[in-house]
Structure 1
Amino acid sequence: MLDVHRLRIFRSVVASGSVVAAAANLGYTPSAVSQHVAALQRETGLTLLERAGRGLRPTAAGLELAAQADAVLARIGEAESVVADLRAGRTGRLSIAYFASVGAAWLPTVVQRLTTQFPGVRLDLRLEETVPDDPDERADVQVVVAGPGVEPGPGFRSHHLLDDPYVAAVPCGHRHAGRAEVELAELACEQWVDNDFARGWCRRNLLEACTAAGFSPAFHVEAHDYPTALAFVAAGVGITVLPELAAARLPAGVTAVPVVRPTPVRSLHAVVRDAVAGTPTARAALAGLHAAAAAGRPAAA
């Protein structure tokens, strides 16, 4: 296999017309340049240079190799440029997974930040309510709901973003509407609207809090998502209890009351793949998620 470094030196000799001139251009000694050219000739088994007066000129084989070297060095230069762009975050790809209630709430500002700073980076956005078991199928950055002491597994690191307390969404004419807070046990006899068809961690967290308050909610209607559940509340079908982030934009005729004693809380985390954690794009994505969490709770989906 040809030594690329020797090809560079040989190409400089051909372009400069002498070993001394090439050495001066490269910052080497003439002896070092001569040794590299001699080694290249041994590697190829070809005579690449011949004397021409006080200088050197390439042989026919040398001219052909010099032409090939130009192409090889150009491709290496392109590859080095790509590597520099990837290292600086100017090109490449980043996958981000999120669950529904942070999609509209946080992702627009995060994506706007990334596309402004890194216009050449392709973003792969995925709606995923759970973390895939196969690490190869996971996104580079995923926003997840998890309990305390979340362990994302080898090759990933979890970053806490927000603790999101639950609220009761009730019709504006409801007896609890307008209160500063409502105890969870006071909702025991209400007609509940379920809002998590997937029976995920958020629902289990709520049911555990209800059990701690001494009751099990009787779900009158099952909805598949938070917006549908809120629409049922607006229609007067019942009440629903959901994370505050998901209740940031309520339909007309619905108000939210903080739930206490106990207050169910879900923790939101960003799980980042170790292999991309040090890249500018992943760092910017994580910073954007932290900023969105700290800025409050804008509209959720």
Structure 2
Amino acid sequence: MLDVHRLRLLRELDRRGTLAAVAAALGYSPSAVSQQLSQLEVEAGTTLLERVGRGVVLTPAARVLVQHADLVLAQLEQAETDLAAMAGEVTGVLRVASFQTVLFALVPRTLTLLTERFPALRVVIDHREAAPAFSALAAHDVDLVLGEEYPDRPNPRPAEVDEEDLLHDRLRLLVPATGPWAGASRIEDLSTAPWVLEPQGTDPGDWALARCRRAGFEPDVRIRTPDALLHVHLVETGHAVALLPELALAGRPRLRVVDLPEDPTRRLFTGVRRGAGGRPAVQAFRAALREVAADRAVGRSPRRGRITGGGQHPTPLL
């Protein structure tokens, strides 16, 4: 009989790549992980690992076993979810991975609601960008992730992820309230302006770069940073212009917000491992997050080009 715990170690090795990484993630020593996988080889009756240099690689038999381990662990998670749902209590620990704009704009109020309604639930937040968060979800490092999808940039996600739409967050052009760029009413007016963009290779950064090129110019990028709040501050202080989602404006900046043609949006959603969507803690968190997103939708959309105090709001998918 194959041991489920050892199957998980093999699965983790497939995902993380090294024995040291598996040991660090799960709180074991590398030698303990190696011993457990050696025992799994005995149980399986075949070679699962081959030495390559100082590391190991999975054999074809091991990769077949990993596929079965995925199914077994997903079924066990469904069983745990069913039992938790029968108990009907919202307790325990829920580990959530989210990125900056959602953490800043939606998560604090969500945590307040959960504390008021379910004091026995402990929510642990991990600040991660959307793409790495899904790897953490697959590795069981977190239980729920906030994901994002930019226009024309769909990201393939594992079939074992259960997604639920949260909202469509409008993408806007931000310019300073005063100074040489304050009068811009189109992105084309900013071909010689200094820009702040997210790093290349990220969906937000690549989308913004493509949007400028579509307008017929290569942006003069002075600063690249994943910090959306720094983007806003640089625009407020007149040092740059930017393309940002509306949730980044939750700090009530004073700047000009300009609509873009076609009113592009990024899609925000939550994701959990398949079989975990019925957990009371997951349902409670998703419900509170949807409620907060709906509250922010009241009174959205200032007039085009208006100097704003951050009153614009995303469109909920409810």
Distance 1:97 1:223, change over 3 A: closer
What's the secondary structure of 2:101's corresponding residue?
Answer: helix
The two structures have a TM-score, normalised by structure 1, of 0.61
What's the secondary structure of 2:282's corresponding residue?
Answer: helix
2:107 is aligned to 107
Q: In structure 2, how many angstroms separate the alpha carbons of the residues matched to 1:145 and 1:160? A: 10
1:171 is aligned to 176
- Shift, 1:127, TM fit: 0.8
What's the secondary structure of 2:193's corresponding residue?
Answer: coil
The two structures have a TM-score, normalised by structure 2, of 0.58
Q: Is the counterpart of residue 235 in structure 1 residue 244 in structure 2?
A: no
Residue type of the partner of 2:267?
A: S
Q: In structure 1, how many angstroms separate the alpha carbons of the residues matched to 2:257 and 2:171? A: 9
Structure 2: tracts of 5 or more residues without a match: 1-82, 298-309, 314-318
Distance 1:84 1:238, change over 3 A: closer
Q: In structure 2, how many angstroms separate the alpha carbons of the residues matched to 1:226 and 1:91? A: 33
- Shift, 1:126, TM fit: 0.9
Q: In structure 2, how many angstroms separate the alpha carbons of the residues matched to 1:114 and 1:91? A: 11
Q: Is the counterpart of residue 160 in structure 1 residue 165 in structure 2?
A: yes
- Shift, 1:290, TM fit: 1.6
Residue type of the partner of 1:168?
A: L
- Is the 1:192–1:218 contact (alpha carbons within 8 Å) kept by the matching residues of 2? yes
- Is the 1:184–1:259 contact (alpha carbons within 8 Å) kept by the matching residues of 2? no
Q: In structure 2, how many angstroms separate the alpha carbons of the residues matched to 1:214 and 1:263? A: 19
For residues 220-240 of structure 1, give each alpha carbon's deviation from its aligned partner in whole angstroms, at most 9, with x where no partner exists: 233441222222223322222
Structure 1: tracts of 5 or more residues without a match: 1-82
What are the residue-to-residue correspondences of 1:255-294 with 2, within 5 Å?
Answer: 255-261=255-261, 263-294=263-294
Of all paired residues, the percent bearing the same amino acid is 26
- Is the 2:162–2:271 contact (alpha carbons within 8 Å) kept by the matching residues of 1? yes
What's the secondary structure of 1:216's corresponding residue?
Answer: coil
Q: In structure 2, how many angstroms separate the alpha carbons of the residues matched to 1:121 and 1:157? A: 22
Q: In structure 1, how many angstroms separate the alpha carbons of the residues matched to 2:279 and 2:226? A: 37
- Shift, 1:113, TM fit: 2.0
- Is the 1:192–1:240 contact (alpha carbons within 8 Å) kept by the matching residues of 2? yes
For residues 117-172 of structure 1, give each alpha carbon's deviation from its aligned partner in whole angstroms, at most 9, with x where no partner exists: 22222222111103343612452221111247655323221112122222222221
2:190 is aligned to 187
Alignment RMSD? 2.9
Distance 1:124 1:264, change over 3 A: same
1:141 is aligned to 144
- Is the 1:89–1:280 contact (alpha carbons within 8 Å) kept by the matching residues of 2? yes
What's the secondary structure of 1:260's corresponding residue?
Answer: coil
